[in-house]
């Protein structure tokens, strides 16, 4: 990185920013250890001089969100052989969707995300609401049930993935069982530089990416 780039990064990270956060997903609940890690990151942002306030994330339900995810998965350049049953179920579900319906849902979600930022520069949430499940935990579930179980892993990230907001997951600690915890930092569209600058600032303070977990 150039010297000018380093200076720009420090300026972006050091200026006072408006930060909004939530620990409450639209559905389900947040694991306490993930909530605590997010609170630690928010405390560091306050210490750095940023204005932090709690707010409400986009409020939707899984049924409303499902068509958007079906269309997104169906449009991905996937090899259609050997797909997981839940992936096949999502692709098949997209076949009956009208483009106009999906476009209208996408536009509404985009407006909701823009509105939830208000005058803030950044949003902070847990990256996922719950610890990672054991491998194979859902392999025998019907596809729809498997999707519903997995939804808590994407409840905080999916709205931004769909609407194109720049986001980063910062290593912020480990659970008592030794599983990593991430905290999500989200910026407005085209503000990738700000997200990267503040993420770098936080990582230097936390240093959790350098600490091996203590598995139990």
What is the CB neighbour count within 10 angstroms for residue 165?
22
Model pLDDT for residues 124-174, shown as the tens digit of each residue = 999 999 888 888 888 888 988 888 888 888 889 888 888 888 999 999 888
Rg (CA), the chain: 19
Enumerate residues 6+ apart whose C-beta is below 8 A from 36.
Answer: none
- Taking 70 as the threshold, does the pLDDT of residue 14 lie above it? no
Model pLDDT for residues 97-115, shown as the tens digit of each residue = 888 888 998 888 888 888 8
Could you give the CA distance from residue 11 to residue 193 in angstroms, rounded to a whole number? 11
Which of 8-12, 118-122, 149-153, 161-165 is modeled with the greatest confidence? 118-122
CA dihedral over 158, 40, 35, 52, signed as positive or negative: negative
Could you give the CA distance from residue 45 to residue 37 in angstroms, rounded to a whole number? 13
pLDDT score for 8: 43
- Taking 50 as the threshold, does the pLDDT of residue 3 lie above it? no
Could you give the CA distance from residue 108 to residue 152 in angstroms, rounded to a whole number? 22
pLDDT score for 26: 83
pLDDT score for 13: 53
pLDDT score for 11: 46
Could you give the CA distance from residue 27 to residue 22 in angstroms, rounded to a whole number? 13
User: Sheet holding 18-21: strands in order across?
Assistant: 51-54, 18-21, 122-126, 180-187, 167-174
pLDDT score for 155: 86
Better-predicted residue by pLDDT, 193 or 5: 193
pLDDT score for 23: 93
pLDDT band at 209 (very low <50, low <70, confident <90, very high): low
- Taking 50 as the threshold, does the pLDDT of residue 1 lie above it? no
The correct CATH number of 3-59+114-210 out of 3.90.1300.10, 3.30.70.20, 3.90.1480.20, 3.30.559.30 is 3.90.1300.10
SS3 18: strand
pLDDT score for 20: 93
Asked whether 49 and 16 are in contact (CB, 8 A), the reply is yes
Model pLDDT for residues 53-69, shown as the tens digit of each residue = 998 887 777 878 888 88
Asked whether 173 and 182 are in contact (CB, 8 A), the reply is no
What is the CB neighbour count within 10 angstroms for residue 52?
19
Model pLDDT for residues 35-92, shown as the tens digit of each residue = 999 999 999 999 988 899 998 887 777 878 888 888 888 887 766 667 888 888 888 8
- Taking 70 as the threshold, does the pLDDT of residue 211 lie above it? no
């Amino acid at each position: 990185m150039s010297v000018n780039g380093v200076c720009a990064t420090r300026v972006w990270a050091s200026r006072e920013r408006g930060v909004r956060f939530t620990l409450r997903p639209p559905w389900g609940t947040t694991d306490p250890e993930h909530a605590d890690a997010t609170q630690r990151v928010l405390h560091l942002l306050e210490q750095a001089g940023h204005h932090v306030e709690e707010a409400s994330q986009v409020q939707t339900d899984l049924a409303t969100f499902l068509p958007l995810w079906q269309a997104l998965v169906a449009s991905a350049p996937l090899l259609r052989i050997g797909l997981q049953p839940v992936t096949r179920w999502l692709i098949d579900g997209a076949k009956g969707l009208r483009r106009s319906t999906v476009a209208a849902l996408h536009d509404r979600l985009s407006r909701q995300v823009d509105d939830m930022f208000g005058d803030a520069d950044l949003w902070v949430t847990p990256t996922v609401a719950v610890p990672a499940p054991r491998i194979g935990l859902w392999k025998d579930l019907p596809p729809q049930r498997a999707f519903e179980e997995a939804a808590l892993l994407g409840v905080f990230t999916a709205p931004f993935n769909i609407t194109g907001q720049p986001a980063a997951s910062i290593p912020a600690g480990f659970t008592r069982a030794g599983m990593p915890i991430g905290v999500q930092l989200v910026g407005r569209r085209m503000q990738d530089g700000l997200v990267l600058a503040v993420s770098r600032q936080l990582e230097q303070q936390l240093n959790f990416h350098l600490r091996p977990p203590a598995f139990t």
